[in-house]
Amino acid sequence: MQRIGVFVCWCGSNIAATVDVQAVADALAKEPGVVFATNYQYMCSQTGQDMIQEKIKELGLTGVVICSCSPRMHEATFRRTCEKAGLNPYMVEIANIREQVSWVHKDKAVGTEKAIILGRAAIAKVQLNTPLIAGESPVTKRALVIGGGIAGIQTALDIADAGFPVDIVETKPTIGGKMAQLDKTFPTLDCAACILTPKMVDAGQNDNIRILSYSEVEEVKGFVGNFEVKIRRKARYVKEDLCTGCGLCMEKCPQKKVPNEFNMGLDNRTAIYIPFAQAVPKVATIDANYCLMLKNGKCGLCSRNCTAGAIDYKQQDEFIEEKYGAIVVATGFNPISLDKFDEFAYSKSPDVVSSLEFERLMNAAGPTGGTLLRPSDRTHPHTIVFVQCVGSRCDASAEKGKEYCSKICCMYTAKHAMLTREKYPDTEVYVFYIDVRTPGKSFDEFYRRAVEQYNVHYIKGMVGKVVPEGGKLKVQASDLLDNRQIHIDADMVVLAAAIEPDKSARPLATKLTASMDTNDFFTEAHPKLRPVESPTAGVFLSGTCQGPKDIPETVAQAGAAASKVIGLLVKDKLIGNPCVAKPNELMCNGCSSCEKVCPYGAITYEDKPFRGPNRTTLIRRVACVNPAVCQGCGACTVACPSGAMDLQGFSNRQIMAEVDAICK
Amino acid sequence: MQVKENFTPTIVAFCCNWCSYAGADLSGNNRLEYPANVKIIRIPCSCRLNPMFILRAFQRGADGVILCGCHPGDCHYTTGNYYARRRMTLLFSMLDYLGIEKERTRVEWVSAAEGAKFAQTMNEFVEAVTALGENKRLEDLRCKQ
Amino acid sequence: MQAVIKKKAKELLECGTVDRVLGWKAGEFFYDLTPAVFTTPEEIDKDFVFSVFSGANMSKYLIEETKKEGKVAAFIKPCDSYSLVQLQKEHRIKRENCYIVGIACDGMCDMGLVREAGIKGATAVSEKDDKLVLETIYGEKEMPKEKALLERCVHCKSKKVVDFDEMIGENGEENPDCGRFDEVERLEAMTPDERFAFWRSQLSRCIRCNACRNVCPACSCEKCVFDNPDSGIAQKAAASDFEENNFHIIRAYHVAGRCTDCGECSRVCPQNIPLHLLNRKFIKDMNELYGFYQAGADFETKPPIMNYTTNDAEPSVVYQRGGSK
């Protein structure tokens, strides 16, 4: 029989006003096993905690029940309190008599009665509690960053600077991500390449950073501190260690008609290519879909011309397996497909472009060398219409677009408008908007400059239709403030397409057992208090994979994720959660039911010897739970037909004892 | 079925730790009332609920048992409530097959943000079970006082 | 059939393919055939019996038999073979330690039905065309075999042996339209009060002899929860209505998704409680809600209760189903 102490908290008047705390303590004092029961104004105060500790020592308590606020509030506090007094922290149970009694029931008699019953249930549970000792697991002091955009680069740099090795896995041939495609950045209008490429070089040269470009995460096993990741290094048909990035192969390659994804398909590249001049690693890659040699076995020009002998047409995908202590997801975003937005004639006219395409058209390293030309006839556009919120803030019932605000479009559209007017003052620029959202440092000033200094025509209203006609784009729109219809003959229309998480995010989330919201953004462990951690321990979030954000926010979050990773990697070992599943080997049938429902792969099977009748030894297949992997959900306990699998801290008998106490 | 006067049913609510228990706390934070005969048992996940616990509650005199968990897709353990959903569907169907009033058992998905839904759910459930009256078909007389 | 099987059994022992043979031998009466292990051809000659009363599902016995040294041969009827596969899925039977002889089956009989047909004092049985020929102390009597078939054979779901090393007779086909859910549907159509009355009248007869549990291939736990004092629901005899119900609900739930519907529970019940109707309810629900599933039909598919899809029916679907209030 346990020696249980019951401590009833008043929480000032929060509990005491609707629960007769004295009566609760008196009633619970009569329960079997209870050797002491009291009440106090604030149990969580230092005085309250001191009293609990004193009583544990004085009366030799083996279990403690605290009737107070929700365990979600102070369970950890009281466990620590008791641990300091020498009691196993898992011998503490909380009866929630504030959130679930005093705050929801006004009648004092009713509240008091319920508080007593909840107290009894907690006592009944403590009777069956056993001291639990948390397991320890070592920490592999290496981090994996998935995604090599600005978020991934910044996170990797920060982790590397703290002295820990980091691998960046990037699916493209180079790191850099979306930021590498941008022209200027708001609100300062400094050039994206000028601030990004030095960071890319830093990452490439940092001894602690290994860049695994043209690679994908294939499989993730393990758990916080001990991940084992299998990475596919896609065949690029070029030996990375030999290629000098001289570019001769690109000159010689006869296949020059490959749409250039870096320039959003606005021009072409060769089948062997380096995405852009500042690529890191600066290594060529052969596009197997277009390479004549790989497709037909006829060509081999690049190989013949490569002085370094780096070309290898026989290269195969390779797999590397590495251990990591922490994983950072930085998979980023993409603009949505505009296929469903036919009203803007995106698929009908090449002069209707997305903002990212416009970005490339403005970029000095872009397909037009930085001169703004219409894609259709390469003439200078004189009237440009920008349409905001294309696919953002859509109605849930509409079958296209996203419900959320993509956050960055207002600012980059202002940037585009301003830059156009700056470079080509003869161009008329119209921006159609629902709202202009500019909360951010120097953001609203930036937008007002576009309107006031650069005379960009901002019109509140939506574009209804764009019709290509006679080399012009007939834009029909409404001005909501003037309540009139507008017709503009534009030369170009730029659509601020909503952004969405990269398509690789969903399968990656499954591999990581990390959760996602309905929009496929990764969910954070807590939306306010743990914004860069995933609910899956050891998985962290950086950048737009968690939600739309601009570059400053992304970098801030990347740094925050890095600091969380560093905080994890400096530890030599991790203390686990002891409330995990535990099989009773004597009863286990080895039937694999539990394994089938375990979301973490925490259950394996072993053939173990058992004593059989007449001094024989029987080998039986039994379940084993890895306590460091098990998260304690309990799915296995119900799948187990023999009841061999139980959950520590929430055992079958404990829950039934609670049921009994409540139903009595 | 006869309804005793002033009959207040005993209701056991199993709430998952991550969503519904927090949702119940939130209805407390927002001072949203629901009947005091609802007593909550905290479980780590809706998939921890063994049908044996439900039967046990009925045996010991519960008049209604409700399971609350994270909305499908939002499980803290990613898949727990999907398993719970199948298990409870099959169990409830079996209880109904045995002629035990199906309205005595229920599953509701309540997120940590749905304090109001928690209170409303409990109010409705208590009302429904009160209308059914005492649990007679699946109880153990020896357990009643 | 008996002669062919006995010959095969002796052959397997003689040529050393197996060390033991799992078969049937007569108990107190000629019709209560019980599973038995034979180690010599002589024993087989003397005691081995195969008749229309060889209903016992042999697969469960293979759990213990395949743990032993050497190899055991077993004669497996179509319905037994599903349990055989299911138990292999659950890693309970070591397949390498057994040699499976599949036997084509056209139904097993129920002695109770023979008696109901007015045939008393029977001492031996044989088959002639589609008739049962019973020797009785009052002389030879005949009855149509179909009138004496076990319930599960009337609604035979499959005549296909799904796992075997060799076959005796021709392997048959699955029979999805066997009407085995008709009775479940009839119950579902009743009002809850009628259903409650029906099940009380059935389950209150339960004497907790545990025959259903002991014969059930899915009930092969090292230790049953009802025998385990730590499970919280241990009970030897049902002491109340609740416990009568509880035992059968929990038992049906524990075998849900693993029950192959072999019908042994109902065959052995001394009180003739139609226990298969509980298992079939789960099977029917799972088929309707989660897609057709036959436990033991293959080695890969997960039982529906250990699986999910993200858009499964909500438990509230139950409120709309199954009989009016």
| All structural domains of chain A | 4-128 (3.40.50), 143-331+542-569 (3.50.50), 333-500 (3.50.50.60), 581-648 (3.30.70.3270)
Chain pair A-B, CB pairs under 8 angstroms? 138
H or E element that contains A457: strand A457-460
pLDDT value of position C325: 40
As a whole number of angstroms, the distance between CA A56 and CA A68 comes to 18
Q: CB-CB: which of C232, C258, C306 is closest to A652?
A: C232
- pLDDT surpassing 80 at residue C323: no
CA atoms within 13 A on the CB side of B6: 0
- pLDDT surpassing 70 at residue A138: yes
Mean pLDDT score across all residues of chain B: 91
CB A152 within 8 A of CB A212: no
In this complex, which chains have at least 3 CB pairs below 8 Å with chain A?
Answer: B, C
Q: CB-CB: which of B72, B90, B98 is closest to C285?
A: B90
Max CA distance (Å), chain A: 101
Cβ distance of A642 and C222 shorter than 8 Å? yes
| B52-107 pLDDT per residue, tens | 999 999 999 999 999 999 999 888 887 899 999 999 999 999 999 999 988 999 99
How many angstroms from the chain centroid is the CA of residue A201? 26
As a whole number of angstroms, the distance between CA A266 and CA A146 comes to 28
As a whole number of angstroms, the distance between CA B82 and CA B20 comes to 15
Q: CB-CB: which of A587, A593, A652 is closest to C306?
A: A593
| C57-71 pLDDT per residue, tens | 999 999 999 999 999
Pairing mode, strands A333-335 and A499-501: antiparallel
Q: CB-CB: which of C250, C278, C281 is closest to B52?
A: C250
For A618, name the nearest residue in chain C, comparing CA atoms only: C67
CB C54 within 8 A of CB C27: no
Is any Cβ of chain B less than 8 angstroms from the Cβ of C230? no
- Average pLDDT estimate for A438-446: 95
Number of Cβ within a 10 Å radius of residue A241: 8
For A592, name the nearest residue in chain C, comparing CA atoms only: C90
| The residue to which tokens 């690693």 are assigned | A281
In Å, how far is B61's CA from the nearest CA of chain A?
6
- Cross-strand bridge partners of residue A605: A623
H or E element that contains A431: strand A428-433
As a whole number of angstroms, the distance between CA A177 and CA A359 comes to 14
Selection from A385, A388, A384, A463 nearest residue A426 by Cα: A384
pLDDT above 90 covers a percentage of chain A that reads 89
Please give the backbone phi and psi of residue A358, each rounded to the nearest 5 degrees, phi first: -60, -40
Q: CB-CB: which of B93, B96, B141 is closest to C240?
A: B141
Domain of B133 in residue numbering reads as 11-143
| A292-327 pLDDT per residue, tens | 999 999 999 999 999 999 999 999 999 999 999 999
For C255, name the nearest residue in chain A, comparing CA atoms only: A641
| C36-45 pLDDT per residue, tens | 999 999 999 9
Selection from B62, A597, B139 nearest residue C244 by Cα: B139
3-state secondary structure chain C: CHHHHHHHHHHHHHCCCCCEEEEEEECCCCCCEEEEEECCHHHHHHHECCCCCCCCCCCCHHHHHCCCCCCEEEEECHHHHHHHHHHHHCCCCCHHHEEEEEECCCCCECHHHHHHCCCCCEEEEEEECCEEEEEECCEEEEEEHHHHECHHHHCCCECCCCCCCEEECCCCCECCCCCCCHHHHHHHCCCHHHHHHHHHHHHCCCCCCCHHHHHCCCCCCCCCHHHCHHHCCCCCCCCCHHHHHHHHHHHHHHHCCCCCCCCHHHHHCCCCCCCHHHHHHHHHHHHHHHCCCCCCCCCCCCCHHHCCCCCCCCCCHHHHCCCCC
pLDDT value of position B143: 74
Cβ distance of A591 and C91 shorter than 8 Å? yes
Mean pLDDT score across all residues of chain A: 94
Pairing mode, strands A258-259 and A268-269: antiparallel
pLDDT band at C324 (very low <50, low <70, confident <90, very high): very low
CB A508 within 8 A of CB A217: yes
CA atoms within 13 A on the CB side of A520: 17
CB B90 within 8 A of CB C285: yes
Is any Cβ of chain B less than 8 angstroms from the Cβ of C253? yes
Mean pLDDT score across all residues of chain C: 93
In Å, how far is B113's CA from the nearest CA of chain A?
12
CB A645 within 8 A of CB A594: yes
pLDDT value of position C226: 93
| A571-592 pLDDT per residue, tens | 999 988 899 999 999 999 999 9
CB A499 within 8 A of CB A336: yes
How far is CA A281 from each of CA A236, A270, A315, rounded to the nearest angstrom?
Answer: 13, 18, 18
CB A476 within 8 A of CB A493: no
CB C180 within 8 A of CB C155: yes
First-to-last alpha carbon distance for chain A, in angstroms, is: 21
pLDDT value of position A438: 95
Query: In this structure, which amino acid lies at residue A93?
Result: E
As a whole number of angstroms, the distance between CA A360 and CA A372 comes to 9
Q: Is the peptide bond before C304 cis (omega within 30 degrees of 0)?
A: no
Max CA distance (Å), chain B: 45
CA dihedral A147, A148, A149, A150 (to 10 degrees): 120
pLDDT value of position A527: 72
Number of Cβ within a 10 Å radius of residue A54: 11
- Average pLDDT estimate for C148-156: 94
Question: What tokens does C145 get?
Answer: 């075999």
pLDDT band at C234 (very low <50, low <70, confident <90, very high): confident
Question: Where would I find the H helices in A91-227?
Answer: 108-128, 150-161, 192-205
Selection from C235, C244, C295, C279 nearest residue C81 by Cα: C295
Burial-class residue A73 by CB neighbours within 10 Å (0-12, 13-18, 19+).
Answer: middle
Pairing mode, strands A272-273 and A285-286: antiparallel
> How many residues are present in chain A?
664
Is any Cβ of chain B less than 8 angstroms from the Cβ of C121? no
Cβ distance of B83 and C196 shorter than 8 Å? no
Number of Cβ within a 10 Å radius of residue A86: 11
Task: Write the DSSP string, B85-145.
Answer: HHHHHHHHHHHHHTT--GGGEEEEE--TT-HHHHHHHHHHHHHHHHHH-S--TT--GGG--
CB A301 within 8 A of CB A271: no
Number of Cβ within a 10 Å radius of residue A184: 20
pLDDT value of position C116: 93
H or E element that contains A473: strand A472-479
Angle, CA of A68, A70 and A75, to the nearest 5°: 85
For A606, name the nearest residue in chain C, comparing CA atoms only: C91
Q: CB-CB: which of C90, C254, C307 is closest to A592?
A: C90
As a whole number of angstroms, the distance between CA B1 and CA C196 comes to 14
Residue B6 resides in a domain: no
Question: Total domain count for chain B?
Answer: 1
Number of Cβ within a 10 Å radius of residue A347: 11
Number of Cβ within a 10 Å radius of residue C313: 17
As a whole number of angstroms, the distance between CA B120 and CA B117 comes to 5
As a whole number of angstroms, the distance between CA A525 and CA A531 comes to 7
Selection from A455, A466, A400, A405 nearest residue A430 by Cα: A455
| A627-654 pLDDT per residue, tens | 888 889 999 999 999 999 999 999 999 9
In Å, how far is A519's CA from the nearest CA of chain C?
15
CATH no. for residue B101? 3.40.50
* C194 vs B contacts (CB less than 8 Å): 99
As a whole number of angstroms, the distance between CA C8 and CA C2 comes to 10
pLDDT band at A529 (very low <50, low <70, confident <90, very high): confident
* C243 vs B contacts (CB less than 8 Å): 140
* A511 vs B contacts (CB less than 8 Å): none
- Cross-strand bridge partners of residue A562: none
For A655, name the nearest residue in chain C, comparing CA atoms only: C232
In Å, how far is A654's CA from the nearest CA of chain C?
10
In this complex, which chains have at least 3 CB pairs below 8 Å with chain B?
Answer: A, C
Is any Cβ of chain C less than 8 angstroms from the Cβ of B101? yes
Q: CB-CB: which of C67, C220, C302 is closest to A618?
A: C67
Selection from C282, C218, A662 nearest residue B94 by Cα: C282
| A220-251 pLDDT per residue, tens | 988 889 999 999 999 999 999 999 999 999 99
Question: What tokens does A525 get?
Answer: 């462990």
- Average pLDDT estimate for A110-123: 97
pLDDT value of position B5: 64
Please enumerate in sequence order all residues whose Cβ is within 8 A of that of C210, keeping only pairs 6 or more positions apart, or say none.
none
As a whole number of angstroms, the distance between CA C152 and CA C260 comes to 12
Q: Is the peptide bond before C35 cis (omega within 30 degrees of 0)?
A: no
Selection from A379, A333, A397 nearest residue A548 by Cα: A333
pLDDT value of position B1: 44
Angle, CA of A354, A356 and A357, to the nearest 5°: 65
pLDDT band at C321 (very low <50, low <70, confident <90, very high): low
